[in-house]
């Protein structure tokens, strides 16, 4: 069989459910197995489990030479699901409480409809929080969330600002807004309960994809539906010795089928000489939620990216004579590194780099110089950092702007965010000492000072924030603000930077942001001591702390 070339993926290598079912990202631990190669076995840390916990013996032995050269399609079929399932559940029974996850509770088949719906809500919150976030990080957030929003009805009655405030620091803020939207839809259309089957849940509840729906419905409702997050993807790839492009449809179809066979306790595998089912072993009930959680637990704690090889010696398969039986999906397998050969590694896509100028605009009262307020603008409800507050920003500028360009950007921003005839320019750049005069009313720009750069990396963008402290002075009250925040569009290739345009999208009032602030629907003046109380992202907080050093240094110089 001719050797095929490995084709790189075009999308980002961070694991996400979007790669599986076109929805949000899910994983108890962020999966890095597709973008990094394992270290040598001598440098691997010993895998530890709870004392006395025996890891289930699932055959994941090094690949034989015969398997490297060719193998049948049946290599990627689970042939003894019943015995593996029992071994898996026996192991899970010894470790399921080890990590102290408050949302993980024993399945109780006697629960009524309302109690199962409550369990579904609890599992839903935990699953969304666990998307690309480690368990230890999620636990305190989950506890605070359930104390504030103990039921789906309580969540549905909240505002986006209340939800974002509770989510602050957890990242991927679109998850929080989708939880709110999902709760509101469940209350409005489903009598305050999440649908009790995975297909309906995936189709009708915002932010729930195939993985999340499978996890929630199997754990809370006992439905026999599979799960496939980053951990189970890696586990199944090794179990089935599948060496193919990790996110291709053909690969995912095989892995989903493997996960389905494991959770389907009535499955009989045809054509491989096995007819065993769950009914052959009555040692313990085989609940779908326990099976799925056991697979996730095994993948996240034992079958890690750089896991120690487990299993028994493999037997070389017989030479294949029928070309129709050959697997045409797998790429040529390299020299085996044990189970860590799987899944196939692909190069991680380099994050796009962008430069943003962040304008930390301060207004100072003419009659009360100690009264200081800062301009913040609510971001759109969709996209990056949806619904959070930010300082006015010129996005994705080309190169490093000089002082004149920085001043020009400030004036563009202020001309959009302040209402007409609010600004007169008496610009004084302390760095150069130059002054300029321009006829306007009420307030004037008195200071423009750049701060040090701030680097902030998202999953797909590496942002270089270039903050600048802008002070406008005059009048007894903060300047009136426009009801539409500025949106400075980036330049396209071969074109000059586009002029800023008013954002046509209007957003909800920030009624739960902070107290006693002058604001419009989208732009607000926030008192100095309350800036860090706003719902802002981590990168914005870094910008604020970096810029604050400028006036803190000025105070030190005056002393």
Q: From residue 183, how far is each of 129, 190, 201, 277 by CA, in Å? A: 15, 10, 12, 38
Q: Is 266 strand, coil or helix? A: coil
Instruction: State both tokens at 372.
Output: 């200081």
Helix or strand run (H / E) with residue 431: none
Query: Please, what's the b/e burial string for 439-448 (b: 16 or more CB within 10 A of its CB; e: otherwise)?
Result: ebebbbbbbb
Distance between CA atoms of 547 and 559, rounded to whole angstroms?
20
* Rounded CA separation 485/375 (Å): 11
| SS3 per residue for 269-332 | CCCCCCCCCHHHCCCCCCCHHHHHHHHHHHHHHCCCCCCCCCCCCCCCCCCCCCHHHECCCCCC
461, containing H or E segment? strand 461-473
Nearby residues of 454 by Cβ (< 8 Å), 6 or more positions away: 464, 465, 467, 539, 542, 543, 546
Spatial separation of the C-alpha atoms in residues 273 and 445, rounded to whole Å: 82
Helix (H, G, I), strand (E, B), or coil: what is residue 141?
A: helix
173 close to 537: Cβ distance less than 8 angstroms: yes
Question: Which entry of 28, 67, 127, 202 is annotated as an active-site residue?
Answer: 127
Q: H-helix or E-strand containing 102?
A: none
Say whether 464 sits in a helix, a strand or coil. strand
Cβ–Cβ < 8 Å for 543, 467: yes
- Where residue 22 falls (left for φ over 0; alpha for ψ -120 to 50; beta otherwise) is left
Closest CA to 128 of 213, 227, 15, 247: 213
Q: Is 353 an active-site residue? A: no
Active site residue ranges: 127
């Amino acid at each position: 069989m001719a050797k095929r070339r490995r084709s790189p993926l075009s999308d980002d290598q961070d694991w996400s459910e979007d790669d599986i079912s076109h929805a949000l990202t899910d994983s108890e631990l962020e999966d890095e197995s597709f973008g990094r190669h394992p270290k040598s076995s001598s440098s691997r840390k010993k895998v530890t489990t709870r004392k006395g916990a025996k890891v289930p013996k699932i055959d994941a032995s090094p690949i034989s030479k015969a398997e490297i050269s060719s193998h049948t399609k049946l290599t990627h079929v689970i042939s003894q699901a019943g015995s593996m399932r029992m071994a898996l559940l026996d192991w899970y029974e010894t470790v399921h409480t080890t990590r102290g996850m408050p949302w993980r509770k024993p399945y109780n088949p006697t629960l009524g409809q309302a109690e199962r719906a409550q369990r579904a809500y609890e599992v839903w919150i935990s699953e969304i929080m666990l998307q690309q976030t480690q368990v230890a990080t999620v636990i305190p957030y989950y506890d605070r969330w359930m104390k504030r929003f103990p039921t789906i009805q309580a969540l549905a009655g909240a505002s986006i600002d209340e939800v974002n405030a509770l989510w602050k620091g957890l990242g991927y803020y679109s998850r929080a807004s989708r939880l709110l939207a999902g709760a509101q839809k469940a209350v409005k259309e489903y009598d305050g309960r999440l649908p009790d089957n995975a297909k309906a849940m995936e189709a009708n509840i915002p932010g729930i994809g195939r993985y999340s729906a499978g996890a929630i419905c199997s754990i809370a409702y006992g439905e026999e539906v599979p799960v496939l997050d980053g951990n189970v993807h890696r586990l199944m790839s090794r179990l089935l010795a599948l060496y193919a492009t990790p996110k291709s449809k053909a690969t995912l179809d095989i892995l989903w089928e493997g996960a389905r066979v494991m959770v389907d306790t009535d499955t009989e595998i045809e054509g491989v000489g096995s007819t065993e089912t769950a009914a052959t072993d009555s040692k313990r009930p085989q609940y779908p939620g326990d099976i799925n959680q056991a697979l996730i637990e095994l993948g996240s704690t034992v079958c890690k990216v750089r896991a120690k090889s487990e299993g028994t010696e493999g037997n070389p398969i017989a030479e294949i004579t029928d070309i129709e039986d050959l697997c045409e999906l797998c790429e040529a397998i390299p020299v085996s590194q044990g189970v860590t050969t799987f899944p196939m590694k692909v190069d991680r896509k380099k994050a796009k780099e962008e430069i943003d100028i962040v304008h930390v605009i301060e207004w100072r009262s003419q009659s009360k110089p100690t009264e200081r307020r800062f301009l913040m603008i609510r971001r759109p409800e969709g996209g990056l950092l949806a619904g959070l507050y930010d300082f006015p920003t010129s996005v994705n500028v080309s190169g490093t702007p000089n002082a004149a360009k920085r001043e020009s950007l400030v004036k563009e921003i202020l001309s959009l965010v302040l209402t007409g005839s609010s600004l007169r320019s008496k610009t004084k750049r302390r760095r150069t000492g130059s002054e300029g005069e321009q006829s306007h009313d009420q307030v004037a720009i008195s200071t423009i000072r750049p701060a040090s750069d701030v680097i902030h990396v998202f999953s797909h963008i590496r942002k270089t924030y270039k903050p600048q402290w802008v002070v406008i002075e005059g009048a007894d009250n903060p300047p009136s603000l426009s009801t539409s925040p500025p949106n400075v569009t980036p330049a396209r290739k071969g074109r000059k930077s586009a002029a800023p345009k008013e954002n046509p999208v209007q957003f909800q009032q920030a009624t739960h942001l902070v107290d006693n602030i002058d604001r419009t629907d989208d732009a607000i003046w926030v008192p100095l001591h309350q800036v860090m109380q706003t719902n802002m992202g981590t990168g914005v907080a870094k910008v604020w702390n970096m810029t604050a050093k400028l006036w803190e240094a000025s105070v030190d110089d005056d002393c």
